[in-house]
Amino acid sequence: MKHFRSSTLAAAVALTLGGLFAPAQAETLVVGTTQVPRHFNGAIQSGIATFMASSQIFASPLRYDGNWNPQPYLAKSWDVSDDGLSVTLHLVEGATFHDGEPITSEDVKFSIMTIKANHPFQTMLAPVVDVETPDPLTAVIKLEKPHPALLLAMSPALMPIIPEHIYGEGDIQQNPANLAPVGSGPFKFVEYKQGEYYKLAKNEDFFLDGLPKMDEVIVQIIGDSANLVLATERGDIDMVPFMSGIRDVQRLEKADNVEVSDAGYDAVGALNWIAFNTKKAPFDNPAVRQAIGYAINKDFILQRLLGGVAKDSTGPITGTSPLATDDVEKYAFDLEKATSLLDEAGLTPDGNGIRLSATIDYIPGSPEIGRNVVEYMRTQLKQVGIELEVRTAPDFPTWAQRIANYDFDMTQDSVYNWGDPVIGVDRTYISSNIRKGVIWSNTQQYSNARVDELLAAAAIETDQTKRAELYKEFQQIVVADAPILYINEVPFYTAYKKGLTHLPDTIWGAVSPWDQVEWSE
Amino acid sequence: MPPLVKKLASAIGLLLAVVVLNFLLIQLAPGDPVSVIVGEMGGASEDLIAQMRAEYGLDKPVWLQLLIYVGKICTGDFGFSYYFKQPVLNLILQRLPATILLVVSALVLAVVIGTLMGIFSAKKPKGILSHFVTIFSLVGYAAPVFWTGLMLLILFASIIPMFPVSGMMNVRGNDTWYGAVLDVLHHLVLPAVTLASIYIATYSRLSRASMLDVLGSDYIRTARAKGLNERRVVFGHALRNGLIPVVTMIGLQFGQLFAGAVLVETVFNWPGLGRLAFESILRRDYPTLLAILFFSAILVMVANILTDLAYGRIDPRIGGPRRKKAKPRAAGATQ
C-alpha cells in the first residue's frame, strides 16, 4: 500500500510538473550537441561546432547531394574552362543577405579571398589567384593551376558567402559579427548564450522557394554526452547530429521515441588510426610497422570493442569517396607473419620474451575509439613480444604537445578527410608538411618521393578517372609502407525524434543546410 | 592604521598573490591556448600559429606577460578570451548570476536542513533521528558530489522524469515571467540538492555536537529552571550559541562550495562560472580562467568578511567596537 502511495505521488508530481513545464507547440527544431562554437564565421574557422551553425546561417555557391554530386545553391549554374584554370559562377537573381542587402559577385570575391587568407585549410583555395566580377551576378575564379578540389570546397561548410559590407572593415578575426553573424542561408541568427544555446529563426526571404520548413532552430549545448542521451530519450531534444559514442548510439537505438541513422557524413570522412613516429627506431623500419598491423585483430576491435557500429577502414581515403580504392593490403590478422617480420627486422625476444618496448598515446575524450583500442593493443601485442606502455594525457593540449613535437612512438589519432584529399588527406603524408609543433600536419614524419609526386599530380588532375588512378597508387603505397595503421571509420550517427523527416543526409551530413528538415503530419 | 584600512590592504596583497600564483601555476600546464584552437581547427600553418601567439601576447617571456597582466587587472581590464573571442568580463558577468544562484541556494538548503537535523538529533542524542543523522552525515560526506549528482539524475530525471536533465531554463522558452521563474526553480532543484548534500552532512554533525555542548551548559539549565518551554530554550537561547561553529564553517567552506560548484555545474550543465572554469582549463584559456579565479578569491574574501560581521550579530562577545561593552562570560549567561 505504501509503495502504491509513493508511486502514485511520484506520478502525480511528475504529471503536474510535466504539465507546468510543457514546451510550447511551434515548428521548432531543438538540436543537441556537445560542441561549443568559438564563433559562427565558417570563413575563418573550421571544426564541426562552427561548420554546423555556419551552414545554416550562410549560403555557399554549391551544395552536394548524398552521392557526391554538386547541386546549384547560390550559384544557379557554373562552368569550368577547358584548361581548368577558371571557374565561372552564375549567381541566382534577387538573393539577399539577412539584412536585406543584395548578394553580388563582389561578396563572392570578398568571401573567397578572405577564406584563402584566413581559413585553416590552407590547401583548399591555395591555387586561387583572383576572382573577377564582370557583372553583379557573375564571378570568375582564376586559378594558377587546375584545382579539381575546388568544387567540393564550394560546399556550405567550407565556403560561406559572407557580406563584404559587414565583414570588410578591420581585422576579420576580431569582427563582432563573428558572434552575431549576418548571412544569406536558410536561418537567421537570433541570439547566442555562450555555452548554453544559440537560436536561429527562419529566413523568410530565403532564395529557395518554400524553404526552410522550420520556423525556429535552437541548438542546445550539453557538454556531457551521457546527459545529451538522457535528454534525447526524454524527448527534450529533437535531433542529435554527429553522435559517435558507441554506447550512446546503442542506448538510443533502444529508445522508444528515437530513431538513429548513419546516413550522410561521407565527406567528413573521420578515420581512426594508429600512427607511428617513422623517424624513431625501430619504427623507422616498415617491417616493424607492418608486423604490428598483422598482429592486431581488427575484427575483434570492430565487433567487440566498437559493437559492430563502426565500419572498417582500410586506407587513407574514406571508403565511400569516389577516389577510394579497396585494392590495398588488408593486414589480415596473422600472428605468425607478424612474428617472422619482427624476426627479419632483427627484433628477437629477450629472456622474458620481449622483443621491443614502446609507448602508445591516445587522444583524450573519446575512450571507445581511443583508450579502449590502445588498451587492447597493449594486451594483444604482448603475444608477439611487444611491450606497450599506455600514456594517458589529461587533456587535448597535453596530447597535442607530445605528438606535434614528435615525443611519441605510437599514437591513436582521429583525422578527418573533409571531402577532397587535397583538403584533408595530403596533409598527413606529403613530406613538405612535416612541420614540428603543428598538430595534424605530417607528424609521422613520413616521407616518400613517389607519394609526393602522386599527390602533386592528383591535386591538379581534372580528369576524374585519371585522378582516381593516381590516388589508387598513392593509397597502395601508403598502406604498404604503413606509417599509419587504419582501424575504423569513426561512426557518425544522427539520432532524431520519430516524426522528424528530411534529415540532413547528404555527404556533409549535419554540416549542410537543415532547410528541408520538417515534422511529418 | 585603522583596522578597516589594514584589512583592505591585506586583502589587496592577498589578491595580488592569488593573481601571481595562479598565473604561474597555469604556465606549468603543458600546451597553450593556440594548440587547442589549432587542434579544433584541424591544423594550421606556422604563420597562422605565430600570428595567433603574437596576437595573444604568448610570444613574450612569461615575466613580461605577468607584468602586463597585473597592469591590466589594476585598470580593471580582464582581457579578451582567446577561445571564446569575447571580453572576459562579459563572459564572467553572463555566468556569475547562475553560480551565485546555485551556491546560495545550496548554502541556504545545507544550513537550514543541516542545522535543523543537528538540533533535533541533539535533543535526543540516542534517539532514532540522531542515529539517522549520523548515518546520513557519513554517507553524505563520503559520497563524491558528482556521484550524488549522477545518481539523482538517473533517479529523478530518467527513471522518474520529474526534473530536467540539464541547463537552467527550457530552451524552447516560457510564455510568462512567472513561468520562467518556476522553470529556473524546476531546473535548480537537482543541482542545488546535490551541492547541498555534502554540506548538509557537515552542518548537521557540527550543529549536533555544538548543540549537545550548549544544551548541557548552565544558562540552559537556568532557562529550563525558569520554566521556559523547550521550544524557547532551544531556539531562543541555545541556538544562538550553538550556531557559532556553523557560521565559522560557512565562512571557511565558501571556497570549497565554489569548488563543488565546478563539478555540479559540469554534471548538470548548469551555465555558471564553474563550468566556464572547467571549459577554460581544458582549452588553456588563461585570461578567462585567471579572471574566474580572481572573482572566486574576491567572493571568498567577501564571504569571510560577512562571516566576521555575522559573528558580531550572533555573539556580542565577538566583534570590534562591541567588545569593550560586552562582558565575556556574563553575556552568554544572561541570554
CB A55 within 8 A of CB A157: yes
- Measured between beta carbons, the chain B residues lying within 8 angstroms of A214 are none
Tens digit of each residue's pLDDT (9 = 90 or more) over B17-74: 888 888 888 877 777 777 777 776 666 677 777 877 787 778 888 888 888 888 888 8
* CA–CA dist A194, A198 (Å, integer): 8
Closest Cα of chain B to A332: distance in Å? 31
Q: How many CA atoms lie within 13 A of A163 on its CB side?
A: 20
| Contacts of residue A42, Cβ cutoff 8 Å, sequence gap at least 6 | A50, A51, A53, A54, A55, A58, A157, A158, A160
Number of other residues whose CB lies within 10 A of the CB of residue A7: 11
pLDDT at B142 over 50: yes
For residues B156-165, average pLDDT: 91
Q: A161 and A301 in one domain?
A: no
State the complex-level ipTM: 0.77
**CA nearest A277: which of A400, A407, A416?**
A407
Query: Tens place of pLDDT for every residue, chain A, 521 residues?
Result: 444 344 444 444 444 444 444 444 569 999 999 988 889 999 998 889 999 999 999 999 999 999 999 999 999 999 999 999 999 999 999 999 999 999 999 999 999 999 999 887 888 999 999 999 999 999 999 999 999 999 999 999 999 999 999 999 988 988 999 999 999 999 999 999 888 899 999 999 999 999 999 999 999 999 888 899 999 999 999 999 999 888 899 999 999 999 999 998 999 999 999 999 999 999 999 999 999 999 999 999 999 999 998 999 999 999 989 999 999 999 999 999 999 999 999 999 999 999 999 999 999 888 899 999 999 999 999 999 999 999 999 888 789 889 989 999 999 999 999 999 999 999 999 999 898 888 888 999 999 999 999 999 999 999 999 999 999 999 999 999 999 999 999 989 999 999 999 999 999 999 999 999 999 96
Report the first-to-last Cα separation within chain A, whole angstroms: 43
Contacts by residues B52-57 (CB-CB < 8 Å, ≥ 24 positions apart): B55/A173, B56/B82
* CA–CA dist A127, A239 (Å, integer): 38
The residue type found at B205 is R
Residue A441 counted as domain residue: yes
pLDDT at B327 over 50: no
Look up residue A2 and give its three cell numbers. Answer: 505504501
Three-point CA angle A299, A303, A305, nearest 5° = 105
Three-point CA angle B37, B38, B39, nearest 5° = 90
Q: In this predicted model, which residue has the larger pLDDT, B12 or A362?
A: A362
Looking at residue B286, its pLDDT comes to: 84
3-state secondary structure of B267: helix
Look up residue A352 and give its three cell numbers. Answer: 622474458
3-state secondary structure of B158: helix
- Measured between beta carbons, the chain B residues lying within 8 angstroms of A49 are 40
Look up residue A505 and give its three cell numbers. Answer: 543526409
Q: Does B308 touch chain A (CB under 8 A)?
A: no
Looking at residue B221, its pLDDT comes to: 85
What string of H, E and C letters represents the secondary structure of A18-80? Answer: HHHCCCCCCCEEEEEECCCCCCCCCCCCCCHHHHHHHHHHCCCCEEECCCCCEEECCEEEEEE
What is the radius of gyration, based on Cα positions, of chain B?
24
Tens digit of each residue's pLDDT (9 = 90 or more) over A35-83: 888 899 999 988 899 999 999 999 999 999 999 999 999 999 999 999 9
Residue A465 counted as domain residue: yes
Name the residue with cell 550548549: B214
- Measured between beta carbons, the chain A residues lying within 8 angstroms of B183 are 21
Name the residue with cell 546535490: B194
- Measured between beta carbons, the chain B residues lying within 8 angstroms of A215 are none
Do A218 and B171 make contact, defined as CB atoms within 8 angstroms? yes
Q: Which CATH number characterizes residue A66's domain?
A: 3.90.76.10
CB B197 within 8 A of CB B143: yes
Q: Does B159 touch chain A (CB under 8 A)?
A: no
**Which CATH architecture best describes the domain B88-284?**
Orthogonal Bundle (1.10)
Look up residue B26 and give its three cell numbers. Answer: 597555469
Residue A21 counted as domain residue: no
Q: Report residue A165 CA to chain centroid gap.
A: 31
Three-point CA angle B152, B154, B160, nearest 5° = 95
Asked if the peptide bond before residue B144 counts as cis, ω within 30 degrees of 0, the response is: no
Residue A84 counted as domain residue: yes
Residue A317 counted as domain residue: yes
The residue type found at A244 is S
Q: Does B53 touch chain A (CB under 8 A)?
A: no
Output the CA torsion sign for A4, A5, A11, A14.
negative
DSSP state of A301: I
Q: A445 and A309 in one domain?
A: yes
Look up residue A449 and give its three cell numbers. Answer: 618521393
Q: A282 and A156 in one domain?
A: no
pLDDT at B210 over 90: no
Look up residue B30 and give its three cell numbers. Answer: 603543458
- Measured between beta carbons, the chain B residues lying within 8 angstroms of A424 are 42
Q: A424 and A289 in one domain?
A: yes
3-state secondary structure of A382: helix
* Beta-carbon contacts below 8 Å between A and B: 162
Three-point CA angle A363, A365, A366, nearest 5° = 80
Helices B88-123 and B128-142, axial angle in degrees (round to 10): 150
Question: pTM value?
Answer: 0.84
Asked if the peptide bond before residue B97 counts as cis, ω within 30 degrees of 0, the response is: no
Cβ within 8 Å of B, A 7-26: 10, 13-14, 17-18, 20-21, 23-24, 26
Look up residue A145 and give its three cell numbers. Answer: 593551376
Residue A321 counted as domain residue: yes
Instruction: Show the domain range for A482.
Output: 270-489
* CA–CA dist B323, B312 (Å, integer): 9
CA distances from B104 to A263, B38, B162, B181, B251 (A): 47, 38, 23, 16, 13
Looking at residue B331, its pLDDT comes to: 37
Domain boundary among A166, A196, A220: A166
* CA–CA dist A131, A143 (Å, integer): 9
DSSP state of A101: P
* CA–CA dist A125, A149 (Å, integer): 9
Q: Report residue A497 CA to chain centroid gap.
A: 23
CB A495 within 8 A of CB A245: no
* CA–CA dist B169, B159 (Å, integer): 21
- Report chain B's mean pLDDT, rounded to a whole number: 82
Tens digit of each residue's pLDDT (9 = 90 or more) over B63-122: 888 888 888 888 888 888 888 878 899 889 989 899 999 999 999 999 999 888 888 888
- With cut-offs at 50, 70 and 90, classify the pLDDT of residue B332: very low
* CA–CA dist A335, A343 (Å, integer): 12
Number of other residues whose CB lies within 10 A of the CB of residue A5: 9
3-state secondary structure of B75: coil
Cβ within 8 Å of B, A 109-168: 120-122
| Contacts of residue B155, Cβ cutoff 8 Å, sequence gap at least 6 | none
Look up residue A290 and give its three cell numbers. Answer: 607492418
Tens digit of each residue's pLDDT (9 = 90 or more) over A4-39: 344 444 444 444 444 444 444 569 999 999 988 889
Looking at residue B43, its pLDDT comes to: 65
Look up residue A7 and give its three cell numbers. Answer: 508511486
Residue A37 counted as domain residue: no
Q: A281 and A159 in one domain?
A: no
Do B183 and A441 make contact, defined as CB atoms within 8 angstroms? no
Q: In this predicted model, which residue has the larger pLDDT, A347 or B274?
A: A347
* CA–CA dist B278, B265 (Å, integer): 9
* CA–CA dist A312, A298 (Å, integer): 8
Looking at residue A329, its pLDDT comes to: 97
Domain boundary among A166, A192, A221: A166
Residue A400 counted as domain residue: yes
Q: Where are the domains of chain B?
A: 3-77, 88-284
